[in-house]
Amino acid sequence: MLRPPDLGRAWHRDFHYPRGVVPLGAALVADLVRGAQQAVRTLRLSASGGLAARFVGPYVYLGTARADPPSAAERAAALADVRGYPARFRGHWAAARAELEARLRELEQAPVEDFDPPALGAYLARAWQVHARAWQVHFEVMYRLLASHELIRDELAGLGVDGDELLRLLHAEDNSVLAGDRALSALAASARRAGLAHLFTEHSGPLLPRLARHEAAAAWLAEFREFLAVYGQRCDALGDLTRPSWVEDPEQPLALVRMLLLGEATRPAGAGGGIPHRAGRAGGLPARGAALVEDARRANVVWWNEEHNLVIDLRAHLPIRRAALALAAATGAPEPDAVLFLFAEEADRLAHGLTGWAELAGLVAARRAYYQAWRERREELPSFLGTPAADEGDPVVKQIISAGWCGAGSAPGETPRVLRGLGVSCGTARGRVRVLRSPDDLASLRPGEVLVCEATSPSWTPVFSLLAACVCDVGGMLTHAATISREYGIPCVCDVGSATRDLRDGDEVEVDGTNGTVTLLARPDPVR
């Protein structure tokens, strides 16, 4: 928990957990932090000790762990490691990915519904090991890629290639998140061709039973099952044990198909469509510049920052959820999700018969009430706590979580005409605001609206085809909203600080992603 002595440091509310963290999920956060700290102990480039986490209620705030500055010898060794990483990256990631996918498939295919409690305890132990390994890999790769990108960017700047042009070059590579979006778009197009669109758009309620009742939808449902076989082991938020995978709840991807059928979806612009083009900067470089560009492409941080999500962020925790639900059923829990409100050690004791629901039921009820009460308070929590740091020190905090001090938005009660942030995808667009608090609200988006949110994650990617622009409270140049906005060629401003507080549904705004401004043009009269 965040304590008064912690307020001498900088803490950013982590947008990856919009619904908070249940007790069982606390161990997931610990794995993430441990993976980051282990990576920076190996790669001693700065005074960062890696990520640190504190809880306010069930919500996570991230900051930088303290560490002594590296010695000259440590820094020299780290620089040598980073400079050589572009040559090693593809092999390193391919091997680590193959390892993780093999271990995850084994867990996903296990018939946990048939396991007795001790077998579920053993399964959970394996699932925790795989999850910890996933976050070890995550930060082994991420810290090296970010450091490599920064070194290459700075050296290229001296040769006349600015950061925007480097991003353009890196955006030319496709990734599996965008491939999944295209597969969803193909499903929508197939439904339209088969004359099934009305089944999605003219009725409310669950889509799968409705489609199953129509013989004409049989072939389309076969396509959909093939889609789930490839993309179904993912959920809509990082490490959220309360949320099912697409395989567990197919209504989630079906709702996205419905949104695509309702809107005039566009395809990604590709090649960094939201990045200003400065012709000739990357061409005609001296040999050293060409070699740097090639290194940047080989160690493509923009590509990997999306590519890894379907292996780690949105998938690695799902076997733990699956086991928790099975353990609840096998032990006669009072609710199907009761094990989610146990800590990992308690779940292990339950699986091995060392405790039971007679002891745990009251504890679970109290924790559930606590979690629900805090969920209602999330909008009261500041996006930043503590003391702003002159230099955050940690590249993950700077590039992904917040490029600056995102507490610098407007004062409560003020509605400034112009909001300022970090322009991360160029261009200008106007539209009506839609403020979303979590992925639960995605279905409310309409074509041509301006998405205003705390931040996005890969589960939000399919809706970018409907947007005029995107505005986020937090984030940097490599955060998800920035990367995907550039792919779709729409303006995006991040790190605004208070956009979700200052803007309302229906506001007419102009988003200037080149200069990092959001201008309030008109506000509808309140409904009386």
Domain boundaries, the chain: 176-262, 402-522
What pLDDT, on a 0 to 100 scale, did the predictor assign at position 279?
38
Task: DSSP letter for 31, please.
Answer: H
Better-predicted residue by pLDDT, 80 or 173: 80
**pLDDT exceeds 60 at position 270:** no
Q: Which of 410, 400, 434, 420 is nearest to 513 (CA)?
A: 420
Per the CB < 8 A criterion, the answer to whether 210 and 203 are in contact is yes
For residue 157, how far is the Cα from the chain centroid? 29
In which residue are the tokens 């193959």 written?
Answer: 98
Mean of pLDDT values over 495-509: 95
What pLDDT, on a 0 to 100 scale, did the predictor assign at position 527?
55
Q: How far apart are CA 498 and CA 162, in angstroms?
A: 29
Better-predicted residue by pLDDT, 350 or 441: 350
Q: Which of 501, 427, 440, 528 is nearest to 468 (CA)?
A: 427
What pLDDT, on a 0 to 100 scale, did the predictor assign at position 413?
55
Q: In what order do the strands lie in the sheet with 450-453?
A: 418-420, 517-522, 508-512, 428-436, 450-453, 469-472, 492-494, 422-425
**What are the CA-CA distances from residue 470 to residues 181, 450, 451, 466 (Å)?**
18, 6, 5, 11
Q: What's the whole-model pTM score? A: 0.92
What pLDDT, on a 0 to 100 scale, did the predictor assign at position 278?
40
Task: DSSP letter for 398, please.
Answer: I
Task: DSSP letter for 172, please.
Answer: T
Mean of pLDDT values over 196-218: 95
Q: How far apart are CA 313 and CA 400, in angstroms?
A: 14
Per the CB < 8 A criterion, the answer to whether 59 and 17 are in contact is yes
Q: What is the mean pLDDT of the chain?
A: 91
Q: Is 409 helix (H, G, I), strand (E, B) or coil?
A: coil
What pLDDT, on a 0 to 100 scale, did the predictor assign at position 383?
87
Tell me how many degrees the CA angle 385-389-390 measures, rounded to the nearest 5. 150
What pLDDT, on a 0 to 100 scale, did the predictor assign at position 407?
43
| E strands present in 294-427 | 384-386, 418-420, 422-425
Q: Which of 386, 449, 499 is nearest to 3 (CA)?
A: 386
Tell me yes or no: is domain 402-522 CATH 3.50.30.10.
yes
What pLDDT, on a 0 to 100 scale, did the predictor assign at position 169?
82
Q: Is 292 helix (H, G, I), strand (E, B) or coil?
A: helix
Q: How far apart are CA 279 and CA 7, in angstroms?
A: 47
What pLDDT, on a 0 to 100 scale, did the predictor assign at position 320?
99
Residue 271 binned pLDDT confidence (cut-offs 50, 70, 90): very low
Mean of pLDDT values over 4-10: 92
Q: Which of 4, 14, 8, 7 is nearest to 53 (CA)?
A: 14
Q: Which of 236, 440, 235, 241 is nearest to 338 (CA)?
A: 241
> E strand or H helix at 187, and its extent?
helix 176-193
**pLDDT exceeds 70 at position 264:** no
- pLDDT, tens digit, 9 for 90 and up, residues 293-347: 999 999 999 999 999 999 999 999 999 999 999 999 999 999 999 999 999 999 9
Percentage of the chain beyond pLDDT 90 is 76
